[in-house]
Amino acid sequence: MATERLLIIGNGMAATRLLQELVSQGYAGRITVVGDEPGVGYNRIQLTPWLADEVDEPDLDLVDRAWYDRSGIELISADAVIELDPTGFARTASGRTLPFDRCVFATGALPRLPDCPYPEQPAIRAFRSKTDGHWLKDLPTGRDVVVIGGGLLGLEAAWGLRQRGQNVTLVHRNRHLMNRQLSAATARYLENAFRDAGIAVRLQASLQSIQAEPVLRGVTLDTGEHLAADALIAAAGIRPNTDLARQAGLTVERGIVVDHHLRTSHPRLFALGECAEFQGRTFGLVNPAYQQARILAGVLCGQTRFYAVAEESTRLKISGLDVVSMGDIAHPDARQITLDNPRQRQCRRLHVLNDRLIGFEMVGTVDHADIYQDLIDRDTPIHDARSVLLGQAAAA
Amino acid sequence: MSAVHTTCAYCGVGCGVEVPGRGDRSVRVKGLASHPANGGRLCVKGTHLGDTLPLKDRLLYPSIDGRDTDWDTAVELIAGRLQVALDEYGPDSIGFYLSGQLLTEDYYVANKLAKGFLGTANVDTNSRLCMSSAVAAHTRAFGEDLVPGNYDDLEQADLVVLVGSNLAWAHPVLFQRLQNARQHNPHKQLIVIDPRRTETAEAADLHLPLKPGTDGRLLNGLLAWLADRNQIDRAYIDTHTQGFDDTLAQAREHAGTDLPQLAEDCGLRLADVQSFFNTFAATEKTVTAWSMGINQSRSGVDKSQTIINLHLATGRIGKPGAAPFSITGQPNAMGGREVGGLANQLAAHRDFAPENVDAVEQFWQAKRMARQPGLKAVDLFRAAAEGRIKVLWILATNPLASMPDAPLVKKALERVETVIVSDVVQHTDTVAYADIVLPALAWGEKDGTVTNSERCLSRQRGFLIPPGQAKPDWWALARVGQSLGHTEAFAYERAADVFREHARLSTLNTDSHRQFNLTGLDSLTPADYDNLQPVQWPLSDDGEPTPRLFSDGRFATPDGKARFIPVTPEEPTESTDRLRLNTGRIRDQWHSMTRTGFAPRLTQHRRDFTLAMHPIDADRLGIAADALVRVHNEQGRFLARADLTDTVQPGQLFAPMHWNQTFASEGGVAQVIPPKVDPLAGQPESKHALVDVEPVPIAVHGLYVGFNLPTPLLDGAHWFKHHLNGMTVWQLFYTDATVTDLRQRLNLDATDLILSDDHDHWFQAISRPPTNNPHWLSLSEHPIAEPDTDWLEQQFDQGNDSMDDWVRGQPAGDLDRGKLVCTCFNVRDKQIAEYLEENTEAGLEDVQQALKCSTSCGSCLTEVVKIVETSVTTPG
C-alpha cells in the first residue's frame, strides 16, 4: 500500500500539537503542513508575555525547524492554501499544488475587526500574531492605545501594552470584564487590578466611530466620550476561519462542522481547533484544541477514537494576575460561597447547586483550582462547601 | 542581680518561690528549694506567676466615681464618709470585707482600724467562705484555732484519707509530695471521699463516691464501728479529752450500727465502706485531711468535728504521721485568722470575752473599741442590702463573684452609700460597683508575711516597682486611720513596723493556755524582718519552731483537755426532680480569674466555663455535649457549656467557681448558691445548690479573637471569654438573631478577609495586620470548631500568607493538635498518644523522659497515667 499523504492546512497551535501527537503516536504517512505565517509553529498564548518583554521571541516557538526535518514533516511556511479540491488536491497562494489522501483543516480563527467604517492601516489591528506583536513592540512608548474588548484577548493585549508603557484605555461592551467567565463581583477585582496598573477601563461602551483620515487620531464611543488613539487594537472576539472550507463545499455553520472523529462532512477531510464546530460549539481555548489533536492523531493513525467535550477552565495568562473560571457561574439558584481578600486583590467564589460544585471563579489566586475542577468533572457530592473552598477535598 | 525569695500568691500550701532578680515583669520564677512547704516544687499556677505580672488591666490611680484622683483626696473622702457614718448611724453602719489574699500586715491594720478605732466588728473576710468551719471546729475542740499537724505528716502517714478535697488540683504541690511518698512506701494508702471522681480520686487506692453531704454520717458511723470493735485509744481519751461517751452515743444514734444500712444511706458499696473502716482501724499513722468539701456546708463545723472526734478517739493527733488536717485554700487565710480578721474573732486568737476586749483595747490604746462580734460575711451583705451598712470597704476580693446569692450581693453593693474597693485590676464584677477605688499592690510588689496551712510563717517580698500610684493596703488603711485623727496609732512607716506590733500583741498570750504566740519575732529590726526565714510558730524558749502541736497531749483549753463534741451533721436538702450542683476549683485557675485569667498558659487546660453532668441526665434533658445550658433556681441563674462526663454521678452537677461576669455574660455559680450557712461558722454551703438545667437553643454561634469585640455584637449575645497573650477570645451565642442581622452590625471597611455564604448560614471576617484592629470573627448557624487560637495570635504578629490557614484558623496539616495536658511543657494528649504508638513498649517513665510531661509540677500526672494506661489496654 502506498504511503498516505496527509496535508495539514494551518500551522498554529492546534496544528503543531497535531503534528506532535502524530509523531508520538507513530503515524506512518507523509505529512505536509502549510502555514501562512513565516517560521515554525509558535505559542500564541505567550504573545502577551513577549509583548511585555517577559519572554524572548525564540521562546515562543513550540518546536524548532530541525524537528520537522527529523520527523519527516514537510513545512511550507509563509504560504497559504487558497483552493481545495476535496478529492485530493490543494493549491497555495504561491502556486504550488499539493496532492493529499487526507487533509486536516487547522485554519484557526480571525479577529473581529471594528464594524464601523475606517481606512485600513497598521495602527488599527488585532493582537493575534507575531506580526501584530512586532508592530506593537515597535510602537514608541507613551502612545495612546485603545483596546476594544474586555474578554481574555483584550485583557491580555491591554496588559501587555501597558507593560510597554503605553497609555491604554480598555473599552468593553458589557457591564463587567470577562462577563462570560466571571460574575460581576469577582470581575470587580480584575477591574481594580487593571485600574491599579494604570489602565483606563470603560464599561458598557462600544465604538461608534473611528477618526482615521488619513491616519488614526482617535475614536468616539457610544457614550459620547472621545478618546485619543495612536493605535486601536481589536480584541472583541474571533470568528472561525472557514472561508476555504466553505469554498470546498464542506458543511459550515459557525465553524466547520465535525463529528466525533473530527471528520468534516467529507470523509477525507478533518478539522480541529478554533475553525471547527462540534455539537454546535466552537472553541477558543487551547485545551480543547490539544485534546482534539490527541483524538484526531489517533483517528489518523487508524484507531477508533471519539472526541467528547470536556468542561474547561478558563485561565487568564497575565503574569502576576491569576484569573481562573470554570463551569456555570451564573446559575440563579446556585448558592455562592466566597472568600474575599480585597487588600490582596484575591477572591474565590464557588457556585454550589444541589450539593454539587457547578462552577467556580477566582482572581488573584489559583489555589485549589485543580481540586475544584476535579469536583466539577466528577460531579462529586459536597457536604461542607466551606471546607471545600479552603481546599479540603475530603469535605466533598 | 541576686535572687529574691518570696512566697506564692495562690493556695494555702504557701510554697517558697525564687525570683531571679528585681525589677523584671517578665520573669520565670522557680520553686524555692529551701522552703519547707515545697522543697523547690511548684504547681502550674505557681510556675506561671511571672505571666500574671504584666500590667494589663491594672489599676494605677485612686478614683472617685470613676474619675482618677490623688491619694490625699481619696483618703480624706474616705475618712469623711466614715466619720459621717459614725456620727449619724453609729459604728455598726461600717463594714470591712477582707480577703485571704491580704498579707498579715494588711489584715492587722484593717482589723485594728475597724475594731479598735471605728468600734465595729463588722470585719469579715472571704476566708469565711473557705475555712471558717474548720476554724470554729478547731476552736471548739482544741480551745483555739490550731492546726496540729504539718505537711511532713502527709508524707509520713501510712494512710491518708482525703475528705472533700481535690488535692491534685487545688493543692498540687501537697499532692505531689503525697504521691512521692506513696512511691517510696508501697504500703501507704490513699482513700478519697468525694461525690465526684476527681483527678485525686482517680489516683486513690479507694474512692468512696458518697452521696453529697453524707460525709458526717459516714464518719460518725466509723467512730461507732471503731468503738464497737475496741479500736479506740481508751487511755488517750481518758487522759486528754472530755465528752467521749456522749459523742459516741450520738454517733451511734446518727449513723446506726447497721453497716449495710449506713452504706446505703451514704450511697456507697458495702465492701468499700468495710474496706475503708478496716484500713482506718488498722493504720495507726493516719492523716485525715479535709478542705472545702467539708467546710462549705450547712454543717461544716460539725462535719469537721466528726474528723477531729475520730482522731481524738484513736489518739492520732500530735504525732508524726497522725493528725486531723484542715488544708486551707488561700495563701494567707491562716495569717488572717492569727490577727483576728473574722467578725467573731477579736485579735491574736482571742474572742470578744470582756477580758480579751480590755486587754486588746489597752494594747492598742483604742479610742472606740468593738465589744461584740460583728456580722459574718453573708449577714454583712444582707445587712448592706437592707440599708444598714453605709460604708463598706472591700479589700482584695471579689464578693459579687464569690459570695453565695450574688443577686443579694449586687443589691447590697447598690444600696451601700459608699463602697470602697481596694484591688489591683480595673475590671472585676465588684469594682464596677465601687464609689471609691484604691490601687493596691500586687504579688511581686507587696511586702509582708503570710502563714500557710501548716502554721509556717513566710515572707512575701516585693521585687517590682509598684506601678502608678499603687500602694500597700496597710498603708492606705493607716492613712485613713491617721486622717481620722489617730496619728500615733497608725504611724507605721513600713510593713516591719506593723508585723512587730502584731507579734507583740500575740505575746499577751504568754502564760495563758493559748498557743498562738510570736514571741521571739516581736522585736525584729527591719533588717531581721527582711531576712526572716520561714518559721512554724510558736517558737520555743530557745527560738526553735514547733512543727507539731499537742504532742504532749495538752490542748489550748483552760483544763488542757480536748473536747469531744456530739454532733449530727445536717444533710443538705434533697429533691427528686432537681439536680444537685457542686462547685470547686479547677487546676489552672485561681478564684475569680482576675490574675490567672490573664495568663494564657493557664487558660489552656480548661478554656470553657463548663457544667459537668452525667450523660444520663443530659440525655433526659435533651442536652448535647458542649451545648449551652442554663442553670437556674429561685436564687438566680448562670450559663455554661455542657461537659458530659461520668466523673459526676447521675443527679449531680459540677461547675468551677472561677468564671464570673468578667469572663461570662451570665457567669458565676454564686448566682445560684443559696445563702444557707453553717449556724456556728457562718460559712455558706457553696458545694450544694438544687437547680434545674435546660438547654438554650442557639440560632447563631460566634467566635471572635482580637483586642476589641465590636460592641454591636454584644447586643443579645450570651458570651464567654478568655485571654491569650494580648488578644481575647470571645465565644458568642445568639438565641434570637440571624447571620444576616449580625453581619449588618459590623463595619467591614478595614476587613481584609471575608468568607461569606450568600444564603447567610455563616460568615467570617478577618482583619490581618497591618491594621489597627486585627481580629478573627466567625458567625455561623452551626457550632464553630474553635481555631487554634494560640497559633492565630502568633500569625497576627508574624504574618502568614495562606488565606486558607487564616480562614481555617490553623495551619494545614496541623488540623488537630489535641488537648493540652501538661501546661509546664506544653504537651498535648495527641503527642503522648503518638509517642506511645511509635514506642509500643513504653511506659510512664519513658513518656516522662521523652516528652517531659508531668515532670515539673506534676498536676497532670493523673491525666498522663490515664493516657498511658488507655493506650496499653487498647488492643492494636
Distance CA B659, CA B538 (A): 39
> Do A28 and A88 fall within a single domain?
yes
A53, part of any domain: yes
| Residue in B110, B115, B113 with CA at minimum distance from that of residue B126 | B110
Residue A309 lies in a domain: no
Question: How far is the C-alpha of A352 from the C-alpha of A385, rounded, in Å?
Answer: 8
Among B739, B755, B782, the strongest candidate for a mutation testing the A interface, having the largest count of A CBs within 10 A, is B755
pLDDT band at B53, cuts 50/70/90?
confident
Sequence letter at residue B196:
R
Q: pLDDT tens digits, residue range B369-411?
A: 999 999 999 999 999 999 999 999 999 999 998 899 999 999 9
Yes or no, beta carbons of B762 and A335 under 8 Å apart: no
CB B540 within 8 A of CB B574: no
Q: Does B820-873 carry CATH code 1.10.10.1100?
A: yes
Q: What is the mean pLDDT of residues B635-650?
A: 96
Q: Which three cell numbers stand for residue B247?
A: 459523742
* H or E stretch at B478: helix B473-483
**Cα separation, B143 vs B73, whole angstroms:** 45
Residue A146 φ/ψ, nearest 5 degrees: -105, 125
**Helical H segments across A178-223, by residue range:** 184-196
**A10 and A66, same domain (yes or no):** yes
pLDDT at A177: 96
Residue A306 lies in a domain: no
Q: Are A78 and A38 in contact (CB under 8 A)?
A: yes
Set of cell numbers at residue B313: 478517739
Of A178, A203, A234, the residue that ends a domain is A234
CA angle B373, B377, B367 (to 5 degrees): 40
**CATH assignment at residue A132:** 3.50.50.60
pTM above 0.95, yes or no: no
Domain boundary among A210, A234, A258: A234
Instruction: Judge whether B766 and B752 are in contact, CB under 8 Å.
Output: yes
Based on the domain organization, do A194 and A46 belong to the same domain?
no
Structural domains of chain A, count: 3
Q: Both A219 and A246 in a single domain?
A: no
Residue from A341, A352, A355 whose CB has the most chain B CBs within 10 Å, to mutate: A341
Chain A residues whose CB is inside 8 A of the B816 CB are: none
Task: Please say whether the beta carbons of B82 and B436 come within 8 A.
Answer: no
Concatenated DSSP letters for B606-641?
Answer: --S-EEEE-HHHHHHHT--TT-EEEEE-SS-EEEEE
Range of the domain at A355: 320-395
Chain mean pLDDT for chain B: 93
Residues A216, A258: one domain? no
pLDDT for residue B238 is more than 90: yes
Cell triple for residue A377?
Answer: 468533572
Reduced to 3 states, what is the DSSP secondary structure of residue A223?
A: coil
What does the angle CA B853 – CA B856 – CA B858 come to, to the nearest 5 degrees?
A: 75
Contacts of B812 in chain A (CB under 8 A): 391
Per-residue DSSP letters for A60-92? GBSS-HHHHHHTTEEEE-S--EEEEETTTEEEE
Partners of residue B757 in chain A, C-beta under 8 Å? 335-338, 385-386
- Percent of residues, chain B, with pLDDT higher than 90: 76
Instruction: Judge whether A227 and A257 are in contact, CB under 8 Å.
Output: no
Interface of B with A in 398-457 (CB under 8 A): none
Residues A131 and A227 in one domain: yes
**Is B808 an interface residue toward A (CB < 8 Å)?**
yes
Residue A99 lies in a domain: yes
A247 and A294 fall within a common domain: yes
Q: Cβ contact (<8 Å) for A343 and B803? A: no
Burial of A192 (0-12, 13-18, 19+ CB in 10 A): middle
Task: Tell me, yes or no, whether A128 and A95 share the same domain.
Answer: no
Class of domain B63-130+332-536: alpha beta
Question: Where residue B543 falls among pLDDT bands split at 50, 70, 90?
Answer: confident
DSSP secondary structure string, B723-782?
E-SS-EEEEEEESS--HHHHHHT---TT--EEEEETT-SEEEEEEPSSSSS-EEEEEESS
Residues of chain B with C-beta less than 8 angstroms from the C-beta of A347: none
DSSP assignment of B483-539: HTT-TTTT---SHHHHHHHHHHHHGGGTTSS-----TTSTT--HHHHHTPPPEESSP
Residues B538-572: b if buried by 16+ CB within 10 A, e if exposed: bbeeeeebbbbbbeeebbbbeeebbbbbbbbbbbb
Nearest-Cα distance to chain A for B725, in Å, is 27
Question: Is the Cβ of B762 closer than 8 Å to some Cβ of chain A?
Answer: yes
Instruction: Decide if A354 is inside a domain.
Output: yes
- Coil, helix or strand for A254? coil
pLDDT at res. B818:
72
**Which one-letter DSSP state was computed for residue B467?**
P
Assess if residue A217 is contained within a domain.
Answer: yes
CA-CA distances (angstroms) from residue B867 to A16, B131, B827? Answer: 65, 35, 12
In chain A, helix, strand, coil percent, each to 5?
25, 30, 45
In percent, the amount of chain B with pLDDT more than 70 equals 98
Mark yes or no for CB contact B755/A386 under 8 Å.
yes
Q: Which three cell numbers stand for residue B45?
A: 499556677
What pLDDT does residue A316 have?
Answer: 83
Regarding whether A49 and A27 lie in a shared domain, the answer is: yes
Whether omega for the bond prior to residue B875 falls within 30 degrees of 0, making it cis, is no
Nearest to A390 among B758, B762, B807 (CB): B807
CB pairs under 8 A between A and B: 46
Segments of chain A scoring below 70 in pLDDT: 1-2, 395-396
pLDDT at B849: 87
> What residues contact B221, with CB distance under 8 A and at least 6 apart?
B251, B255, B256, B259, B262, B266, B273
Put simply, the answer to whether B803 touches A367 (Cβ < 8 Å) is yes
* Site of grid cell 488537648: B819
* CA B527 distance to own-chain centroid: 33
Q: What is the pLDDT of residue A396?
A: 66
For residue A354, the domain's CATH number is: 3.30.390.30
CA distance B759 to chain A (A): 7
CA distance B404 to B824: 33
Checking if the pLDDT of B1 tops 80, the result is no
Strand, helix or coil for residue B49: helix
Contact B105, B111 (CB under 8 A): no
As assigned by CATH, the class of the B4-52 domain is alpha beta
Check if the beta carbon of residue A276 is closer than 8 Å to that of residue A296: no
Question: What's the confidence (pLDDT) of residue A285?
Answer: 87
Which pLDDT belongs to residue B764? 93
Contact B756 A386 (CB under 8 A): no
Q: Is B323 helix (H, G, I), strand (E, B) or coil?
A: strand
| C-alpha pair distances (Å), B357 with each of B107, B360, B362 | 18, 5, 8
Burial (Cβ within 10 Å: 0-12, 13-18, ≥19) of residue B405: buried
pLDDT digits (tens, 9 = 90+) for B175-225: 999 999 999 999 999 999 999 999 999 999 999 999 999 999 999 999 999
Minimum distance, in Å, between the CA of residue A353 and any CA atom of chain B: 12
C-alpha cell recorded at residue B647: 466523673
Residue B873: predicted pLDDT? 55
CA distance B748 to B765: 8
Q: Do A337 and B756 touch (CB under 8 A)?
A: yes
Which cell is B43 given? 504547681
Residues A296, A327 within the same domain: no
Residue B875 confidence class, pLDDT cut points 50, 70, 90: very low
Question: Taking each helix axis from N to C terminus, what angle separates B300-313 and B244-255, rounded to the nearest 10 degrees?
Answer: 120
Q: Express each pLDDT in B102-145 by its tens digit.
A: 999 999 999 999 999 999 999 999 999 989 999 999 999 999 99
Q: How far apart are CA B424 and CA B440, in angstroms?
A: 5
The yes/no answer on whether domain B579-695 falls in CATH 3.20.20.70 is no
Is residue A129 one of the residues assigned to a domain? yes
pLDDT digits (tens, 9 = 90+) for B783-837: 988 888 888 888 888 777 788 888 888 887 655 567 778 877 778 888 888 888 8
Compute CA distances B108 → A372, B338, B449, B667, whole Å.
72, 9, 11, 33
Together in a domain, A100 and A187: no
Q: Which CATH class is domain B132-326?
A: alpha beta
Cβ neighbours for B875, distance < 8 A, ≥ 6 positions apart? none
With CB atoms and an 8 Å threshold, state whether A386 touches B762: yes
**Helix-strand-coil percent breakdown of chain B, rounded to 5?**
35, 20, 45
Interface test with A, best of B739, B748, B758 (most A CBs within 10 A): B758
